[in-house]
Amino acid sequence: MSDTAAHEVTAPENPTALFSPIEIEQFGADDVTAGGAIGKMLSALFLYTVLAMGLAGWWTYSTIKAHKTPASVNEADKHADQHQHEHDDADKSH
């Protein structure tokens, strides 16, 4: 003997379809329309993301380039010239 009761599922004697064939056809057409709209939306969002990424990259590059001051560039040139003179002096002593 079982502790659980068995429930018998009986089908109605006069089964009627939940949806008519015309309604099922309409559901299919609506699915196609929704799929196309979702595809267009995802494409637009992808293009927006690529555009935003490009603009952010350009802005970052231009900001970094603008913040390089001539004084820091001159200091780097002086250091490079000094380094070159040291190598020239070392070559002359050999």
Sequence-distant (6+) residues with CB within 8 A of 19 are 27
pLDDT of residue 5: 62
pLDDT along the chain (94 residues), means of 10: 60 70 94 97 98 98 85 62 67 62
H/E/C letters for each residue in 33-63? HHHHHHHHHHHHHHHHHHHHHHHHHHHHHHH
Domain residue extents for the chain: 31-93
pLDDT of residue 35: 97
